[in-house]
Amino acid sequence: MRHDTAEAGEVVAGEDGVVEMAGQPVVPPPPVYPEDDKVERAAEVAQQQRVHAAVRRVQLGLTQVCLLILTILAVLYTLRFAASIVLPMVLAMVTNLMLGTPMRVITRWTRLPRMIVAFFMILLTFCLIVAVCAAVSVPAAGWLARAPEGLVAAEQKLAVLRMPIRLAENAALRMQTLLGGGHVQSAATPASPGLSQFGSSLLLGTRAFMGQMFTFFVMLFFLLAQGDSLMRRFVEIMPTFADKRRAIQIASHVERNISLYLATITMMNALVGLANFAQCWLVGMPNPFLWGVVAFALNYIPIIGPLSGMVIYLFVGLFAYPTALHALVAPAVYLGIHLLEGETITPLLLAKRFTLNPVLVMASLMFWDWMWGIAGAFLSVPMLAVLKIVCDHVDALTPIGHILGGPGRRLRR
């Protein structure tokens, strides 16, 4: 509202906070944002405009939708069926994204052939893995041998939970009976597998693992040595200059973002491993180096990895310490370290460049863990990030890339 006593041309403020001038209202000035904020808002507006244009342009019929679903199912079935050969190749590609930049820097600095530099990088990686495995294999084997004894000790120290656990088991059995799943086992149950059968299965598993490791290192070597020439040939077959530029942009963005993610996560995981090694040594937990390596490795798997590490620390604490309260110290410190790293430091380091929807990150983690096991859980976030980068650069797939993105700011209209 205007003040009646205001003269013509005098600027006054109304009760609702809107600036007015005697005789005519004055449009309030637009809000002032920092330069970085302006750029970010402009990018978000442009991205939403591309998404809306793609949604209006892409119209799929029922036949096309059915063919797309069948194609996706066929690809997923092939990935599951051929996991023994596809998984090490995908691991090699992701590892190549992290080692590609150091490979170019070393080659430029030493002026050595790429084949020689790639060979020494593979050799260094292999020696590092073997050294860590050799350092933790003996204490790990000892803990595996004492696992039955540790279960008995944990059961004794958690005797207060025995009754709730028994009630839960009885409720589960009743539910199974009501659902028709509770069948009495016949007396002629098959005999438990003997030592020879266990040994043969272990031998087959070791043989398959060694074959996958060999495939991984061979594929990684040739990607490091000849990956750039392969990318150059791929760009050359693109028909137009726009297609060539898009292919180069996708490749550079994938390498830059995934290598940054893996390098940051590896650095933070190393710090998490060192912190857990220190806290295990301080609280007197046996074999602190082993548990530091366990924390380092499990932290590559979002959410499920740290939770599994806390359960392992609790089990070890129940075996090593006289009371259950003392056994909770190491898992509690582990939780504090994880919250500090996973909820504060790492998001600050990756928020500007690497944002994904948390719901889809968890869904991807569960899916690829079911598809490929622990290695699939490790690859879930990098593969989801690669999918988002590709979708952001292909006009028809920009709606999918927008859905995969993390929570953005709400834009004013």
DSSP string, 113-177: -HHHHHHHHHHHHHHHHHHHHHHHHHHHHHHHHTHHHHHHHHHHHTGGGHHHHHHHHHHHHHHHH
Confidence label for 326 from pLDDT (cuts 50, 70 and 90):
confident
Residue with more model confidence, 218 or 19: 218
Residues 6+ apart with CB under 8 A from 353: 257, 260
Residues sharing a CB contact under 8 Å with residue 158, sequence separation 6 or more, in sequence order: 318, 324
Residue 151: is its pLDDT beyond 70?
A: no
Q: What is the DSSP letter of 27?
A: P
CB-based contacts of 48: which residues, under 8 Å, 6+ apart? 402, 411
Specify the 3-state DSSP secondary structure of 405: strand
Decide if pLDDT at 138 tops 90: no
Cα–Cα distance, 91 to 75 (Å, whole number): 18
Which has the closest alpha carbon to 330: 301, 287, 378, 297? 287
The values of phi and psi at residue 11, to 5°, are: -90, 125
Q: Which residues contact 216 (CB under 8 A, 6 or more apart)?
A: 88, 89, 91, 92, 95
H/E run at residue 21: strand 19-21
Instruction: Please compute the mean of the pLDDT values over residues 136-157 and round it to a whole number.
Output: 70
Bridge partner list, 354: none
pTM (2 d.p.): 0.70
Asked if residues 330 and 280 have their Cβ atoms less than 8 Å apart, the reply is yes
pLDDT class of 394 with cuts at 50, 70, 90: confident
CA distances from 332 to 63, 107, 280 (A): 54, 45, 12
Mean pLDDT in residue range 101-119: 88
The whole-angstrom separation of Cα 162 and Cα 141 is: 29
Amino acid code (one letter) for 354: F
| Amino acid code (one letter) for 236 | E
Percent of the chain with pLDDT over 90: 11
Pairing of strands 19-21, 11-13: antiparallel
Query: Per-domain residue ranges for the chain?
Result: 1-25, 83-148+209-237
pLDDT at 336: 92
pLDDT at 315: 84
| Max Cα–Cα distance, the chain, nearest Å | 105
Q: What is the DSSP letter of 286?
A: S
pLDDT tens sequence across 165-183? 566 666 666 666 655 544 4
Q: What does the alpha-carbon distance between residue 99 and residue 259 come to, in Å, rounded to a whole number? A: 8
Q: For residue 250, what pLDDT is reported?
A: 86
